Structure 1
Amino acid sequence: MAGEDELLAALRQVYDPEVGINVVDLGLIYGVAQRDDCVHVEMTLTTPGCPLHDTIGQAVQRALLRVPGVARSEVELVWDPPWTPLMITDAGKRELGWA
């Protein structure tokens, strides 16, 4: 079973193509849970009408499947709480030149 740090490291390889920041540091990942060989991710997008929702969700699934011990991955898009720029991590703010 993979650890949370390993799963988050894999998710940091997935970038929001419009913003250019990874989904973890952008604050889009609300939760990661693993049960046996399946990882469930609860995440949001910067806007409910994001045209790249399928692309980003599939990239998250693929990134998790590259982690040893993960055979299945599920992505659940949620809209509550809604994403705001306040959810960007300090690392994400540095990437954007905000810090």
Structure 2
Amino acid sequence: MTLSIPERRMWKDKDEIILTPTEWTLVRLLMEREGLGVSRDEILSEVWGRFYVGDLKVVDVNIRRIRQKIEDNPSDPQIIETVWGYGYRWKRSAP
């Protein structure tokens, strides 16, 4: 995966992945913390703002949409891992 912050664009191999502004912000957050779990609360605060008063499921819905776009098999995610009872983690790339 390649993320261009100035252009707000993302590529998988050489194919551009079209993300909404919210999806892009969420991907950027996870990629910046590659290998670390990020809680749903932290994702809500960073992506939707600290005063967001909605359903926590908005995080799960957006993760599902991103997985549909970037995972080879969204049912068996290899890039964005679920940290059960906590949040999500961008899986560390192989060296």
Q: TM-score, normalised by structure 2?
A: 0.36
Of Structure 1 and Structure 2, the greater helix share is in 2
